[in-house]
Structure formats: C-alpha cells, structure tokens
Structure 1
C-alpha cells in the first residue's frame, strides 16, 4: 500500500462495552484511512457517520520501534518538544466510530517507511509500548489521548521479517489481561503466496483477519479467474493458520488511481465476490485501499450493497483441533434443573489467549439469554491433569487442584454479561491448555 503525505507531512459484549462488528461474518467491509489517496480525504468521523464500513484501518505507523506516525492531512500536530504526532481530533473520531459499531485498528508498516525489529526481545518490548500508547496502558504521550483502539494491522512491505511473532504473542498477552472488550490482530499481505515478509509469522501467530492485497501483482483481481489465487489463501486458513477460523478479505483498489494495477468496477467485483462467497468459508469480506478513493469512485457504496446481499454471520465455531479452547453452549451444559432452565446463558466461552512464560492466559465469558440474571450462577470445570490456575487470576474464582469454580458477583448480578480472567500453569507440550468442557456444570441459584 502506498504512503502519501501532505506538503508538510477482535469480547463482543462485556460489562457495558458493545460493538456491532462481528469478526465471524463474511460480509464485513474494511477500508484504510489516513493517507489521502484521492486528495480529498475528509475527517475520520465523517466516514463513520453512515453504515458503509465495518472496520477502519488507520494508516500508518510507518516507523517503529522508533515511532513515526503519518496520517497526511488528518493530523499534523505534535506533542510539544517532540516529533510524535498528537491527534486529538482523530481521538474523538475513534470514539465516535466505535459508538457507531465500527472497529478501529492501527496499521503498522506500509510501502514506505523505516520499520522492523532486530530481535524477538525488541519486538516484545515494543508490544508493551504499543499497549501503553494506544490501548489500555498508560504512557506520558498517547497520540490518541484516552481513545483505545481495537487492534493492530501488519502491512509489512519492507525491512526485516523477524520479531513479528514475538510482538504478537506479547501484545496478545496484554489483550488477555482486559476481558472487557475484544481486540484484534490483522495482516495485509500481498497476494503471491506465501507472503515474502509475513509468511512465517502468518504460520506461527494468531491472526483474526487477513486483508490480502489482490492488486499490483499477477494474482490480482484483474487476473480473475486465471491467476486470482483466493484458493491458496483459503487453503492456508484451513490447514496452516493457527486460527482455523481466521477470515480472509478480498483486498481491492478503491478507485482507478488507488493502485498501479488491479482496479475493477463494482459489477465485476460483485461477480468475483459472489463466486468466492459460494466456495470458500474463510471469506470475511472486502478491504479497500483506501476510503477516500472508494468513496470518491462510488465503489464503497457498491461494496456495501453486495456485502449485504446474502451475507452471513456465525457465532464462534467449535474447533476440532486443540489450538483454541472450544465453546460450551447451553445444549451441553449440565445438569439442567427445571428451575434453572430460564437462566441458562446463551453461551459460556473460553476465550483464547497466548502462552506467555509457560502460562496460558484465558477468559471465561458468560452471556445471558435474558436482560439480566434473575439469580446468581456458578460454573465449574476441570483443567487437564497437572495444571492449575495461578495466583494472578482474578474474578470470583475457587481453585481446588485442577478443578476451577467461577461464581457470579452478587453485587453486579444485574449485568447481562460477566467474565473472569485467569492464567493456567502447567506443561503444555506446544499446545494450549484446554479446560475439559465435558466436565462443565452450570448451576443457577
């Protein structure tokens, strides 16, 4: 993706935080913002005022670990005595976009810039910096003030290919520390498979969304059907990705001048999109570079219409492998006394985290099927033999050997959704520690 400058310069609903964006849909629309590609870029908030895009990708952090931000005409002010951008207007717009049900992620990289890690250690340390500057951590200078972004996107088109797996692992450990909302990791590889910069990272780190750039290459949309290779990416998603539910987006130029090659009109894109949707379950939707181009050309409106025509969403899919904790649903919770049937939640989910320092950080999320619990609840389950929750766990947890009991907080039982965060210690043998879902017991009191 191109970097322009002006003349001067992924838990759905928890404890009150809600977002309409559903990563499991095949009808999502992501678009990049910040580089004024069409030379008529409006404020971020103006693009979020309607329901066209589902994900806004802020572009770019084109320098790291020595941070350089560039949002063209969207932000040109810096902190006093610093070259670091300070963007209070974007900060306010991020909150507005999120209030409209959109996810906002920050893209790291781009086609031009000075970025890359020299070691895993440097990458891990930078993940701490990112958490403190853009997420729930604290830093002396936060470019978006108190606004909290929803994730990061790796658009790596240069520099070293090392360190990104360690960076994601450490960032996900921070994600797991905050069960109040869901955070995402995305990537934007070129369409030739495997990607020359992110290939190994895509195979070794957990990604939620992959925005494949089907342009500026032989495998672009303009080469459909001969060389267009969505099938390669679908196969990767199902056979090589750690997250077998990762969503692949069809990346398209937003207008004729948005890319050197690959632009197609809305009608042609609709034909390709519908063909892909009928064949590949990994499809997550469409991505465009960039929002100013797509809005100017009218392609954005066409994309929204085609996505809404027959799109589908699915809840978290139960996995056959052991790379992510499986879902417990009301159908397999036991026992079910008659007096408690009305209070059985729609789902109880073990939300994935990452293994950090031989600890697996996870979250248990309970979502009610009513506006509120009429009573209190308790759920207990067994961990694999030899594993237990450690002392940093929080929530109403009881630990007896490898049996964990989580109960509701009687002071906040009016909340529809509740969660507990804990870390599991033990020997993992390269896999996540999975609670024994067959042992789960839900009791309403």
Structure 2
C-alpha cells in the first residue's frame, strides 16, 4: 500500500507501519476508517486521496425500522458524495454504509417486516438496485456493502436483515456485490450483534477496542476472543486516532503495535486496523493525516 509523504509529526506513525511491514512480513493489512462524523474532516475524496485507507465507512444511517429513513453525515452536503464514492472505488477502495451508530436512538428492527423493509430500502437507495419512488441520496453510485454498528436497542431481526442483504449477491453474477461487516463492542459477545454474526455472512468484524471500560486493560485478550470465535471472518483491530475520542482507550502507535498488533498479525484471520475516525486521524496524523 502506498502511503503519502509524512510531516515530521507523523514520522512515528510511518515508523510503526514500517515495523508492521518489515517486522512480521505481512504488512498492516487493510486500513478502514469511519467518515461522516465531522464536517471539518474534509471530503470523502480527500480521505481516499491520502492513499492510506483501503476501506471508507460512511456513517451513519441513524433512523430506520419504523417506516422512516435518515442519514446523518454531520453537516456534509450530500451533493458530490456520489462522485466521491465512484472516485474512491476507482482507486480500489471499498466504500460501505454503516447503519445504526452510537447515539440518536432513532433505529431498531421491531419485526421481521421491518427487517425486510430496511433491506429493500438499502438495496434500492444505496446499493445495486433502483425503484421508482425510492430516492438515491448518492445518485447512481452503488456502495459496496453495509456495516452493522448496532449500539442501541435489542438485537432482534438483524440476522434476518443480514440474510436478506446477502441474498442480493445473486444479482451480481459470480462476484460478491454486497459485503457485510460489523462493528461490535470489544467485550465478547456483543449481544446486539450475536444473532446476526451467527449467520456466518459477515466477511469482516471491526472490534472496537474503545468505548468500553471492561476492555481498557485487556484489549489484546478481548480481541483474541473475537478472532477465535469467528475464524471465517477477517477481524480488525478498532482503535481511536486521538485521546480526544477516548482518553482511557487511546493507544499511541507504538503501544498499538507492541501491545496488540504484533500478536494479532500472527493469527490467520487478522484483517487490519479500523480507525475511529477520519476527523481525528486528520487532526493528529495518527495514520492517514
């Protein structure tokens, strides 16, 4: 992966990435980042043009499950995002839409019908489908999949949603068109996502080693439980890019490598690093700058 030239304040990040590559021979894996949480983070195109991220997770679809749907991009104008999505995809980046989120309370799946309706909406509004009367916020840009960031309510019916979304892959004639990922809390298991993950349809799991005091002092052990539980999924190490995001869970690049990554990389289903989020990464130069 090509990383753009770093300023002196970012040399430690570059050093850690070189350690990952040279020390263990496998490289850091994929680098995913959440985008859409602060208008000062810059555009989606700018994030992709850093050359750092292999996956951009647009966040969040914060309202669903009761006949209403709403996307919240923290003040980013929707105009132009579709072109940026296609630009990122042309550079080989995967672009996903994350549903749910850590705040708001405007989402749930109260019934099987609501799971069916959400699947139909996501397919026609953001993925490869189209239907009269269903607006496409990003125009004709088709996202590569859906991330489940379910941090509120019960976990009921998300397994049904996963199966319905995955079933759309039959429309892609031999290539995977709807990638499913999940972003659970680090304490295993995450009860809200347990049933959905049991479907075995999630290719990636981004384990959040932050936002949960139960994991502050056992980040590596918590992550390894997830890796052992889902050997068929690629498991990502999810970290904050600034102590401003979570001062208790923040790890310097050096600590991240020596405390977690050098061990995680040795496991066959290690996937890479997930950063929360683009705004903090841009501000601190943690990895992307």
Whether the TM-score (by the shorter chain) exceeds 0.5 is yes
- Larger strand share, 1 or 2: 1
Q: What's 1:106 paired with?
A: 97
SS of the equivalent of 1:117 reads coil
Matched, 1:136 2:128: yes
Corresponding residue of 1:186 = 181
**1:205 Cα deviation after fit:** 4.3
Aligned length: 256
Q: Verify: 1:153 aligned to 2:140, yes or no.
A: no
Q: Answer whether contact 1:165 1:205 (CA < 8 A) is retained.
A: no
1:164-179 to structure 2, matched below 5 A, reads 164-179=158-173
**Structure-2 residue corresponding to 1:276:** 264
Q: Which has the higher contact order (CA 8 A, sep 6+)?
A: 2
Q: Indicate yes or no: 2:91 matched with 1:91.
A: no
Aligned partner (choices 116, 120, 125) of residue 117 of structure 2: 125
> Following the alignment from structure 1 to structure 2, what is the Cα–Cα distance between the partners of residues 281 and 117?
34
TM-score (normalizing by structure 2): 0.83
Measure, in 1, the Cα distance between the counterparts of 2:144 and 2:81: 14
Q: Once the 2 structures are TM-superposed, how far is the Cα of residue 122 of structure 1 from its aligned partner?
A: 2.0
RMSD: 1.9
How far has the Cα of 1:265 moved from its partner? 0.8
- Look up the match of 1:229: 222
Quote the Cα distance in structure 2 between the aligned partners of 1:265 and 1:208.
28
CA contact (8 A) 1:62 1:108 kept: yes
Q: 2-side partners of 1:26 and 1:265: how far apart?
A: 15
1:28 CA drift (Å): 0.3
**In 2, are the aligned partners of 1:26 and 1:283 still within 8 Å (CA)?**
no
Aligned-partner Cα distance in 2 for 1:292–1:301: 10
What do the CA deviations read for 1:42-94 (whole angstroms, capped 9, x no partner)? Answer: 0110111131000000010011032111001212xxxxxxxxxxx23111110
In structure 2, the residue matched to 1:289 is 276
Q: 1:294 to 1:74 in 2, by over 3 A?
A: same
Preserved contact between residue 162 and residue 196 of structure 2 (Cα < 8 Å): no
Pick from 222, 227, 240: which aligns with 1:253?
Answer: 240
Partner of 2:36: 34
For 1:84-121, what per-residue CA distance to the aligned partner results, in whole angstroms no more than 9, with x for missing partners? xxx23111110111011100000000111211111123
Residue 210 of structure 1 and its aligned partner are, at CA, apart by 0.4
Q: 1:119·1:163 contact (CA, 8 Å) conserved in 2?
A: yes
Q: Structure 2: which 5+ runs fail to align?
A: 1-26
Distance 1:99 1:257 in 2: 33
Q: What is residue 10 of structure 2 aligned with on the other side?
A: none
Q: Pick the structure with greater CA Rg.
A: 1
> 1:268/1:74 Cα in 2 relative to 1: closer, same or farther (>3 Å)?
same
Q: Which has the higher helix share?
A: 2
Whether the aligned pair in 2 keeps the contact of 1:123 and 1:166 (CA below 8 Å) is yes
Structure 1: any 5+ residue segments left out of the alignment?
1-24, 76-86, 239-243, 303-445
C-alpha contact (below 8 Å) 1:88/1:144 kept by paired residues: yes
**In the aligned structure 2, how far is the partner of 1:224 from the partner of 1:112?**
25
